[in-house]
């Protein structure tokens, strides 16, 4: 699928600010894919569609999670997490993208998961650092993303976990598992 076609499809699903965010994620994902030797077209498409389900109703997302036998524990956590796995499902069923690498990158762009692929890491980080984002810690992750992708991912996960802890929000287990996985890998590399 060509970029213009993908963007036209996504534009119908997103509010203007989220579309601008998506363009930033796309450009950042392309840049990171080139830097780290990932498939640029897959990074581009995964980034374009990463928030495809962002503005679906909670009721629709909940129904899809239940009907499609997605992890039911998702329902006990913030609905902000739901659009990622629901988005992967809808991109597959409504848009027709069948590439599992792209779908997985969409599916895990909010929670992460242990043993993330290069493409999954790129989309996660691109979503976190795209140029329109402005929050404490983002500039450090931007610098790290151009030096060492796993260190950038580790810092982004630290920041996310700390942010949720400060708000006294529950943290989805996959996020903790991703943090632990990257921490172990970074420790092995430095040993």
Q: Give a yes or no: residue 72 inside a domain.
A: yes
End-to-end CA distance of the chain: 43
For the chain, give the longest Cα–Cα distance: 49
Mean pLDDT of 91-110: 98
pLDDT confidence band for 32 (50 / 70 / 90): very high
* The predicted structure's pLDDT at residue 155: 98
Q: Give a yes or no: residue 167 inside a domain.
A: no
Q: What is the pLDDT of residues 124-159, one digit of tens each?
A: 999 999 999 999 999 999 999 999 999 999 999 999
Beta carbons within 10 angstroms of residue 57's beta carbon = 9
* The predicted structure's pLDDT at residue 57: 97
**Residue 8 token pair:** 């036209």
* The predicted structure's pLDDT at residue 51: 98
Q: Which residue has the tokens 């080139």?
A: 34
Q: What is the CATH number of the domain that holds 116?
A: 1.10.3210.10
Rounded to whole angstroms, the Cα distance separating 71 from 117 reads 20
- Map the chain to HEC letters: CCHHHHHHHHHCCCCHHHHHHHHHHHHHHHHHHHHHCCCHHHHHHHHHHCCCCCCCCHHHHHHHHHHCCCCHHHHHCCHHHCHHHHHHHHHHHHHCCCCHHHHHHHHCCCCCCCCCCHHHHHHHHHHHHCCCCCCCCHHHHHHHHCCCHHHHHHHHHHHHHHHHHHCCCCCCHHHHHHHHHHHHHHHHHHC
* The predicted structure's pLDDT at residue 8: 98
Domain that holds residue 19: 3-134
Looking at the 3D structure of the chain, how many domains does it have? Answer: 1
Report in angstroms the alpha-carbon separations of 67 from 24, 51, 81: 33, 20, 17
Residues belonging to the chain: 191
Q: What is the pLDDT of residues 163-189, one digit of tens each?
A: 999 999 999 999 999 999 999 999 998
Q: Give a yes or no: residue 69 inside a domain.
A: yes
Q: Give a yes or no: residue 162 inside a domain.
A: no
Q: What is the pLDDT of residues 33-78, one digit of tens each?
A: 999 999 999 999 999 999 999 999 999 999 999 999 999 999 999 9
Q: Give a yes or no: residue 128 inside a domain.
A: yes
* The predicted structure's pLDDT at residue 69: 96
Residue 191, pLDDT > 80, answer: no
Q: Give a yes or no: residue 184 inside a domain.
A: no
Rounded to whole angstroms, the Cα distance separating 32 from 148 reads 11
Mean pLDDT of 106-130: 98
* pLDDT, mean over the chain: 97
* The predicted structure's pLDDT at residue 39: 98
Q: Give a yes or no: residue 150 inside a domain.
A: no
Residue 97, pLDDT > 80, answer: yes
* The predicted structure's pLDDT at residue 128: 98
């Amino acid at each position: 699928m060509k970029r213009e076609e993908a963007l036209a499809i996504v534009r119908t699903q997103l509010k203007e600010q989220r579309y601008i965010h998506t363009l930033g994620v796309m450009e950042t994902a392309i840049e990171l894919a080139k830097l780290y030797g990932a498939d640029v077209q897959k990074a581009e498409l995964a980034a374009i569609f990463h928030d495809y389900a962002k503005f679906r109703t909670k009721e629709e997302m909940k129904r899809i999670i239940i009907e499609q036998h997605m992890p039911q524990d998702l329902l006990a956590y913030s609905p902000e997490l739901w659009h990622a796995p629901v988005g992967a499902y809808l991109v597959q069923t409504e848009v027709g993208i069948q590439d599992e690498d792209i779908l997985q990158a969409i599916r895990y762009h909010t929670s992460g998961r242990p043993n993330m692929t290069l493409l999954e890491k790129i989309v996660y980080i691109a979503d976190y650092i795209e140029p329109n984002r402005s929050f404490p810690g983002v500039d450090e992750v931007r610098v790290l993303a151009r030096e060492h992708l796993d260190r950038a991912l580790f810092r982004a996960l630290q920041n996310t976990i700390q942010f949720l802890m400060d708000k006294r929000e529950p943290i989805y287990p996959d996020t903790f598992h991703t943090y632990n996985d990257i921490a172990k890998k970074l420790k092995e590399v430095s040993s």
